């Protein structure tokens, strides 16, 4: 633990656990498999950014979801 002290402190400060990192890695792998055949790498990168972020774009023909803000 003494060797990894800095890593442990950094993980606690950033609130990142190994489970969260593994979940994001898995989501990226699944998205890359899903995007197989894209002719443009920019499209795959855009899909990755969309899936791995909290962005929820308004889709045509669907009602806008209300976001609850917790203070």
Model pLDDT for residues 5-27, shown as the tens digit of each residue: 988 888 888 877 788 788 889 98
Confidence (pLDDT) at 69: 66
Confidence (pLDDT) at 12: 84
Domain ranges of the chain: 5-51
Distance between alpha carbon 37 and the CA centroid of its chain, in Å? Answer: 22
Q: Which residue has the tokens 């990168």?
A: 45
Least Cα distance to 55 among 14, 29, 46 occurs for: 46
Q: CA separation (Å) from 71 to 45, 55, 68?
A: 33, 20, 10
Model pLDDT for residues 27-71, shown as the tens digit of each residue: 889 988 888 888 888 888 888 888 888 777 777 887 766 666 665
d(CA 52, CA 31) in angstroms, rounded, equals: 10
Contact (CB, 8 A) for 52 and 28: yes
Can you give the pTM of this predicted structure?
Answer: 0.53
């Amino acid at each position: 633990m003494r060797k990894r002290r800095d890593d442990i402190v950094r993980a606690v400060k950033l609130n990142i656990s190994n489970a969260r990192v593994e979940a994001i890695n898995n989501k990226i792998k699944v998205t890359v498999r899903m995007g197989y055949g894209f002719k443009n790498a920019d499209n795959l990168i855009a899909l990755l950014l969309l899936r791995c972020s909290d962005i929820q774009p308004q889709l045509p023909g669907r009602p806008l979801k209300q976001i609850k803000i917790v203070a």
